[in-house]
């Protein structure tokens, strides 16, 4: 099957490699995303995987909807308005969005939800580390982890501490950008006397590429709707 890949950076190149390993055909854009207003591929792909930049969203949605091509989105840094555009497109085509295509992060998300429910009075902090070229902060994954915690606890994210004392319902979100970290996320639960930490480290961006390619193959069998990575493992139908 032809898998269209949008974004020709670190992730786009890795996804092309993994697509070939899965015995599928990677198709890149005829012209770079930044260089054109109307996207074209040599042939219409069976599915598209996008790991590019939020600025390209409109062009990508337009192509996918016009050609009825399912879309896997891994790009991070979207605004609320852009998420609404993605949800609208998902009314006509299958769209799967995930800020993190690693299986380990999917399980981490479940573990921290359980911990936040069980440790109701514990203070929570989140630390994430990425390479220095990463454009958005906090990471899309960090935002997702915070949303998960907020789904079970009344928590207010704080991105910069001041000299005011910490309140229990606050959650500090700390972003480090240096070197070549592919991605590290740690959620810390703490009291005065003990600490529990749940940490995920990516050693290579290959894990995200594999998850995205697997998701793209799965998405070609789905009807229109907005999906998330968990749906590959716990199908719930289109939203």
Binding status of residue 56 toward ligand NAP by CB under 6 A: yes
Q: Which is nearer to ligand NAP, 76 or 222 (CB)?
A: 76
| 135 labelled catalytic | no
Q: What DSSP state is assigned to residue 144? A: H
Residue 12 interacts with ligand NAP (CB under 6 A): yes or no? yes
Mode of pairing for the β-strands spanning 195-201 and 225-227: unpaired
Judged on CB neighbours under 10 Å (0-12, 13-18, 19+), 9 is exposed
As to burial, measured by CB atoms within 10 angstroms (0-12 exposed, 13-18 middle, 19+ buried), residue 234 is: exposed
Beta partners for 229? none
For ligand NAP, the closer CB: 81 or 167: 81
Quote the least distance from Cβ 125 to ligand NAP, whole Å.
22
Which of 27, 33, 106, 149 binds ligand NAP (CB under 6 A)? It is: 33
Rule CB under 6 A: is residue 34 a binding residue for ligand NAP? yes
Q: How far is CA 175 from the centre of its chain?
A: 16
Part in contact with ligand NAP (CB under 6 A); list of ranges 52-60, 155-163, 193-201, 217-225 = 52-60
Nearest-Å Rg of the Cα atoms of the chain is 19
Tell me which long-range contacts 26-33 makes (C-beta under 8 A, separation of at least 24): 27/2, 27/3, 28/4, 29/4, 29/5, 32/8, 33/6, 33/7, 33/8, 33/59, 33/60
Q: Is 32 a residue that touches ligand NAP (CB under 6 A)? A: yes
Q: Which of 41, 208, 218, 227 binds ligand NAP (CB under 6 A)?
A: 208
Is 131 annotated to bind ligand?
yes
Answer yes or no whether residue 216 interacts with ligand NAP by CB under 6 A: no
* C-alpha of 210 from chain center: 13
Among residues 13, 113, 134, 174, which one is catalytic? 134
Active site residue 24: no
Please tell me whether residue 51 binds ligand NAP under the rule CB under 6 A.
Answer: yes
Tell me if 205 is assigned to a ligand binding site.
Answer: no
**Spatial distance between the Cα atoms of 14 and 232, rounded to a whole number of angstroms:** 21
Annotated binding residues, written as ranges, equal 74-76, 98-101, 131, 140-141
**Binding-site residues from annotation for NAD(+):** 74-76, 98-101
Residue numbers at the binding site for ligand NAP (CB under 6 A): 7-12, 32-34, 51-53, 55-56, 74-77, 98-101, 205, 208
């Amino acid at each position: 099957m032809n898998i269209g890949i949008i974004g020709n950076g670190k992730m786009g190149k890795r996804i092309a490699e993994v697509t070939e390993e899965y015995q599928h055909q990677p198709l890149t854009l005829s012209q770079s995303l930044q260089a054109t207003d109307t996207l074209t591929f040599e042939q219409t792909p069976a599915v598209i995987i996008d790991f590019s930049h939020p600025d390209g969203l409109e062009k990508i949605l337009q192509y996918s909807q016009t050609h009825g091509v399912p879309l896997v989105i891994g790009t991070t840094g979207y605004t609320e308005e852009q998420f609404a555009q993605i949800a609208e497109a998902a009314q006509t085509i299958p769209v799967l969005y995930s800020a993190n295509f690693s299986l380990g992060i999917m399980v981490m998300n479940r573990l921290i939800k359980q911990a936040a429910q069980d440790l109701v009075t514990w203070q929570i902090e989140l630390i994430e580390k990425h390479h220095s070229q990463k454009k958005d902060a906090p990471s899309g994954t960090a935002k997702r982890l915070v949303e998960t915690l907020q789904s079970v606890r009344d928590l207010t994210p704080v991105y910069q501490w001041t000299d005011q004392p910490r309140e229990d319902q606050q959650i500090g979100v700390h972003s480090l950008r240096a070197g070549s970290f592919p991605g590290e996320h740690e959620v810390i639960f703490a009291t005065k006397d003990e600490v529990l930490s749940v940490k995920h480290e990516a050693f290579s961006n290959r894990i995200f590429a594999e998850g995205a390619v697997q998701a793209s193959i799965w998405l070609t069998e789905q009807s229109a709707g907005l999906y998330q990575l968990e749906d590959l493992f716990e199908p719930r139908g289109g939203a």
